[in-house]
Amino acid sequence: MATRAANKRLAREYKAIQENPPPYIVAHPSDDNILEWHYILTGPPNTPYEGGQYWGTLMFPPDYPFAPPAIRMHTPSGRFQPSTRLCLSISDFHPKSFNPAWEVSTILIGLMSFMTSEEMTTGSVSASEQERKWFASRTRWWNSTGGGSTTRVIPGISSANNNRGGAGAIRAGDGGAKFRTEWPELDEENWKWMKTNRIDPSTGLVVPEQGPNAAPCSPEAAALRRRPAGTNPRLGTVVEGHQAAARNVGGSWLRRNKVAIGALVIFGYVLLARLLGEGTSSL
């Protein structure tokens, strides 16, 4: 439960962020808990995240602003591990470095700045620019369907087997219920966007319209067809606080360094053979 001071401070900050929202950022506290905030970062232009809809949470401690919040991003981005606590100077990983003068807007601006950089930390992942653009094209689908776990259908578009799942779809999910609760207007816009662009809710893939008069899909929807090389087709799930998210999308360390590892193995074998040979000849 929030202290009186935390409640007062967060209520004031909510009013301020409503009246003067930072660019590409919206946020609000949950109706049930003022310590639980939900934010949407819209990917800024000229970045791999352009146009993406990135949903996450800030969990504030009861004694805020004298301690920082836990920061998570639930939407797969190719930058952060979904639903994982992020280690930032503005997060609960570094309570001693947190400045009580910092506000919700300060925290989210800092998160946006870190997201668009290439600095690595606990909770961040490596992915190519192409992969991050591909994830950006799927964010609205992912948020409103719970990663393809929804049972809602779009007539004439949805798969015959609505539980089939597609690239990036997840098995365990809430069907987008939590996102819909916190962002009902955005959720409805997302479903209209999926219907207009003929995006299958269970797979996140474009379903081509049949017939000679079929209209071409938008460039944004067309990007959903172009799966980037190297992206793991089987993304795992993270279920935390009723939110499901895809697991780390970065390639494994072994796969990225297989050439160097092979060279080291050969070098070690040759060195060992030479040492054994010298030991045998001395006998």
pLDDT per residue rounded down to tens, the chain (283 residues): 889 999 999 999 999 999 999 999 999 999 999 999 999 999 999 999 999 999 999 999 999 999 999 999 999 999 999 999 999 999 999 999 999 999 999 999 999 999 999 999 999 999 999 999 999 999 999 999 999 999 999 999 997 655 555 666 676 789 999 999 999 999 999 999 999 999 999 999 999 987 555 555 555 666 665 556 555 433 333 333 344 333 333 334 445 555 566 666 666 666 666 666 655 454 4
**17: nearest Cα among 108, 88, 114:** 108
Using an 8 Å Cβ cutoff, are 203 and 166 in contact? yes
Q: Kindly state the greatest CA–CA separation across the chain.
A: 86
For helices 104-115 and 4-19, what crossing angle results, to 10°? 60
- Scanning the structure block, which residue is given the tokens 């506290």? 29
Using an 8 Å Cβ cutoff, are 27 and 54 in contact? no
**76: nearest Cα among 125, 27, 120, 121:** 125
Q: Which pLDDT score, from 0 to 100, does residue 225 have?
A: 55
Cβ count near 35 (within 10 Å): 20
**231: nearest Cα among 140, 146, 125, 148:** 125
Quote the CA–CA distance of 193 and 221 in Å, as a whole number: 9
Catalytic residue among 26, 67, 87, 157: 87
Using an 8 Å Cβ cutoff, are 146 and 163 in contact? no
Using an 8 Å Cβ cutoff, are 75 and 55 in contact? yes
What's the burial of 215, exposed, middle or buried (CB within 10 Å: 0-12/13-18/19+)?
Answer: exposed
Predicted TM-score (pTM) above 0.85: no
Quote the CA–CA distance of 178 and 163 in Å, as a whole number: 19
Using an 8 Å Cβ cutoff, are 170 and 148 in contact? yes
Q: Which pLDDT score, from 0 to 100, does residue 245 have?
A: 37
- Scanning the structure block, which residue is given the tokens 């202290």? 3
Q: Which pLDDT score, from 0 to 100, does residue 237 have?
A: 35
Q: Which pLDDT score, from 0 to 100, does residue 81 have?
A: 97
Quote the CA–CA distance of 151 and 200 in Å, as a whole number: 11
217 in active site: no
Within 13 Å of residue 235, how many CA atoms lie on the same side as its CB? 30
Q: Which pLDDT score, from 0 to 100, does residue 246 have?
A: 36
